[in-house]
């Protein structure tokens, strides 16, 4: 086996040194009746070239080369090539968690820079080294708010990513934490009146997303005011990190749960992504996940260490703030490099292109179909309402190697034939025009046609 660095003679010599005749002598602690005396029934050993071929085939079966109008928590942005040049360096790729600071300064300093840039972009005072993804960061941020306030219930806006809501309800279920949802307005924003009606002295936090699942930017200041008036915290989830280049950060929030996938992380069929929690300094001791801090060595030289570990499971066991151990360090490094490449000016220009493409697409789609939630500003997603089932329209568009927007019926039945479309800097005018023409064609014809409709909603 080509990954194993021993010759038969090496193995012989080692066994001899150990006074054993055969390797099987080391497996005698396993009761004989359980020992596997046959080959595993898995594919035979393959050559490297066969492995590449096998996966190439899978890649071809997976929509290779399609233009996509899907966003909804996973965004297709350009990835500068130096991201992979750098993260493929073995010293980053094959290093362990930086517990041993003296031989891990590269990872530690880069995380410190990551934490700094996340603070700059979110307007928060501290950020952790990463969480699994936006959905789990959101669930953990809510748990954190519950610990901070000692209050037992949570209010969640219905326009938070539905899968984030599902993850939160899984996490909260066994904490005896009642979750109530808040409705949205005609503008697609959280309904402040519903918030006023629902919030009580028992509410630990209000969870919103901005830009929300429909792409609409929330009035964070107004929501924060209501939450804070009742002694509740405001948790804001951000799924599209590029929005931070152009949209004011939710500085009035107490905790931000960010999905940093848009910062140079491939779509990768849903993962690995990069969650982050950012918050105010006063809340840091209830924050889950690893943190890197600056300190000095014995000679007064600047260095970095993992710190405030007394929050974590390897020290506190069942009293820890979370059970999280392995996080998404290498993915955070991708995001770190991405943020460094675009920086102070580039992130804004990039965000502006996203906004421009989306504005153009909305104009084109709006000529032929209804647009929902137009009464508030939005970033790079918009909701289109058609007469025909969007699944049917998508099936036809797919024939042009274009993946259309996400039908919303499954998550929001009351929205009927609505679908969520996304444009990024990668979306071409040609693709927009083609998709808009297909939607126009559908709107122009009378009633739904007999096509093979695939349920696109997951």
Partner 1 sequence: MKHMTRKATRHVSQNEGLIFEKSSPGKAAWKLPPLDVPEIDASKLLGSAERKDLGNMPEVSEIEIIRHFTRLSTWNYAIDLGMYPLGSCTMKYNPRVNEVVARLEGLANGHPYQPERASQGALRILKTLSECLLEITGMDAITLQPAAGAHGELTGLLMVRAYQESKGTPRKKILIPDSAHGTNPATAAMVGYAVENLKSNSQGMVDIAALSGQMNQDVAALMLTNPNTLGIFEQEIEQIAAILHAKGGLLYMDGANMNALVGKVRPGDFGVDLMHLNLHKTFSTPHGGGGPGSGPVAVKNILGPFLPKPVLITKPDGTLGFEYDRPQSVGRVRAFYGNFGMFVRALAYILANGPDGLRQTTEDAVLNANYIRKGLEGAYDLPYSTPTMHEVVFSDRRQAKKRVKTMDIAKRLIDYGFHPYTTAFPLIVPGALMIEATESESKEELDLFIESMRSIAEEVEEDPQTVLTAPHSTRISRLDETTAARKPVLRWKPAAE
Q: What number of CA atoms fall less than 13 Å from residue 101's CA on the CB side?
A: 16
Q: Are strands 381-385 and 418-422 parallel, antiparallel or unpaired?
A: antiparallel
Window 78 to 107, contacts with partner 1 (CB under 8 A):
80, 82, 84-98, 100-107
CA 166 to chain centre: 14
- Nearest approach, Cβ of residue 197 and partner 1 (Å): 25
Q: Is 34 exposed, middle or buried (0-12, 13-18, 19+ CB in 10 A)?
A: exposed
8 Å CB contact between 357 and 425? yes
Window 62 to 81, contacts with partner 1 (CB under 8 A):
62-66, 68, 70, 72-74, 76, 80
Nearer to partner 1, 90 or 413 (CB): 90
Nearer to partner 1, 71 or 195 (CB): 71
- Nearest approach, Cβ of residue 186 and partner 1 (Å): 18
- Nearest approach, Cβ of residue 8 and partner 1 (Å): 11
Buried b (16+ CB within 10 A) or exposed e, 55-67: eeeeeeeeeeeeb
Nearer to partner 1, 62 or 446 (CB): 62
Window 131 to 160, contacts with partner 1 (CB under 8 A):
132-136
Give the dihedral of Cα atoms 245, 251, 256, 259; nearest 10 deg: -10
**Part of the chain binding partner 1 (CB under 8 A), chosen from 147-155, 192-200, 227-235, 352-360:** 352-360
Out of 193, 196, 225, 349, name the contact with partner 1 by CB under 8 A. 349
**Part of the chain binding partner 1 (CB under 8 A), chosen from 112-120, 146-154, 181-189, 192-200:** 112-120
Longest dimension (CA), the chain: 84
3-state helix/strand/coil string of 114-150: HHHHHHHHHCCCEECCCECCHHHHHHHHHHHHHHHHC
Q: Tell me if 438 contacts partner 1 by CB under 8 A.
A: no
Tokens of 311: 């929050």
Report the sign of the C-alpha dihedral through residues 97, 98, 103, 106, in that order. positive
Window 391 to 410, contacts with partner 1 (CB under 8 A):
394, 398, 403, 406
| Binding-site string for partner 1 from residue 9 to residue 38, where x marks contact by CB under 8 A and - marks none | -xx-xxx-xx----x--xxxxxx--xxx--
Q: Looking at the DSSP assignment, which residues form a beta bridge with residue 181?
A: 156
Cα distances (angstroms) measured from residue 64 to each of 3, 68, 401: 31, 11, 9
Cα distances (angstroms) measured from residue 409 to each of 24, 188, 220, 412: 58, 15, 27, 5
Nearer to partner 1, 100 or 445 (CB): 100
Report the C-alpha gap between 312 and 288 in whole angstroms. Answer: 7
Nearest to 215 by CA among 450, 62, 424: 424
Out of 212, 262, 353, 424, name the contact with partner 1 by CB under 8 A. 353
Out of 149, 185, 252, 313, name the contact with partner 1 by CB under 8 A. 313
- Nearest approach, Cβ of residue 76 and partner 1 (Å): 7
| Binding-site string for partner 1 from residue 166 to residue 205, where x marks contact by CB under 8 A and - marks none | xx-xxx-xxxx-----------------------------
Nearer to partner 1, 298 or 444 (CB): 298
How many beta carbons lie within 10 A of that of residue 231, not counting itself? Answer: 14
Nearer to partner 1, 102 or 446 (CB): 102
Nearer to partner 1, 316 or 367 (CB): 316
Out of 142, 154, 161, 224, name the contact with partner 1 by CB under 8 A. 161
Q: Looking at the DSSP assignment, which residues form a beta bridge with residue 381?
A: 422
Report the C-alpha gap between 377 and 351 in whole angstroms. Answer: 14
Out of 152, 178, 268, 375, name the contact with partner 1 by CB under 8 A. 268
- Nearest approach, Cβ of residue 152 and partner 1 (Å): 14
- Nearest approach, Cβ of residue 180 and partner 1 (Å): 17
Nearer to partner 1, 133 or 199 (CB): 133
Q: What number of CA atoms fall less than 13 Å from residue 288's CA on the CB side?
A: 31
- Nearest approach, Cβ of residue 83 and partner 1 (Å): 10
Window 274 to 303, contacts with partner 1 (CB under 8 A):
284, 290-299, 301, 303
8 Å CB contact between 424 and 77? yes
Out of 152, 178, 343, 375, name the contact with partner 1 by CB under 8 A. 343
Cα distances (angstroms) measured from residue 7 to each of 15, 24, 389: 13, 18, 63
Out of 316, 367, 375, 441, name the contact with partner 1 by CB under 8 A. 316
Nearer to partner 1, 429 or 449 (CB): 429
Residue listed under structure tokens 């792409």: 215
**Part of the chain binding partner 1 (CB under 8 A), chosen from 185-193, 198-206, 262-270, 439-447:** 262-270
């Amino acid at each position: 086996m080509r990954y194993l660095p021993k010759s038969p003679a090496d193995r012989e010599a080692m066994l001899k040194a150990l006074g054993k005749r055969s390797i099987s002598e080391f497996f005698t602690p396993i009761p004989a009746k359980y020992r596997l005396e046959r080959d595993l029934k898995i594919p035979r050993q393959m050559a490297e070239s066969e492995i590449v071929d096998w996966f190439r085939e899978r890649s071809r079966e997976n929509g290779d080369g399609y233009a996509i109008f899907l966003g909804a928590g996973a965004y297709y942005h350009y990835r500068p090539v130096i991201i992979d040049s750098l993260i493929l360096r073995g010293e980053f790729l094959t290093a362990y968690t930086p517990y041993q600071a003296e031989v891990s300064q590269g990872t530690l300093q880069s995380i410190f820079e990551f934490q700094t840039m996340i603070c700059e972009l979110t307007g928060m005072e501290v950020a952790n080294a990463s969480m699994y993804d936006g959905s789990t960061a959101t669930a953990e941020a809510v748990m954190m708010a519950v610990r901070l306030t000692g209050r037992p219930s949570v209010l969640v806006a219905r326009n938070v990513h539905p899968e984030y809501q599902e993850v939160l309800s899984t996490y909260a279920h066994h904490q005896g934490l009642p979750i109530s949802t808040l409705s949205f307005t005609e503008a697609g924003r959280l309904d402040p009146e519903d918030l006023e009606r629902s919030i009580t002295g028992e509410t630990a936090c209000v969870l919103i997303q901005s830009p929300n699942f429909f792409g609409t930017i929330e009035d964070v200041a107004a929501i924060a005011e209501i939450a804070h008036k009742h002694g509740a915290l405001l948790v804001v989830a951000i799924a599209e990190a590029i929005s931070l280049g152009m949209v004011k950060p939710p500085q009035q929030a107490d905790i931000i749960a960010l999905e940093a996938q848009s910062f140079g992380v491939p779509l990768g069929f849903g993962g690995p992504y990069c969650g982050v929690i950012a918050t105010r300094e006063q809340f840091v001791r209830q924050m889950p996940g690893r943190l890197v801090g600056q300190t000095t060595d014995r000679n007064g030289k600047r260095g970095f260490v993992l710190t405030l570990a007394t929050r974590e499971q390897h020290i506190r066991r069942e009293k820890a703030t979370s059970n999280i151990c392995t996080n998404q360090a290498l993915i955070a490094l991708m995001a770190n490099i991405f943020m460094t490449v675009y920086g102070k000016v580039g992130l804004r220009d990039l965000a502006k292109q996203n906004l421009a493409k989306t504005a153009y697409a909305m104009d084109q789609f709006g000529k032929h179909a209804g647009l929902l939630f137009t009464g508030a500003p939005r970033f790079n997603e918009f909701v289109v309402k058609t007469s025909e089932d969007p699944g049917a329209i998508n099936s036809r568009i797919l024939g042009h190697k274009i993946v259309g927007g996400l039908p919303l019926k499954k998550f929001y039945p009351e929205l009927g034939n609505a679908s969520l479309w996304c444009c990024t800097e990668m979306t071409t005018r040609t693709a927009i025009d083609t998709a808009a023409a297909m939607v126009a064609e559908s709107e122009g014809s009378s009633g739904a046609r007999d096509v093979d409709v695939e349920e696109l909603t997951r």
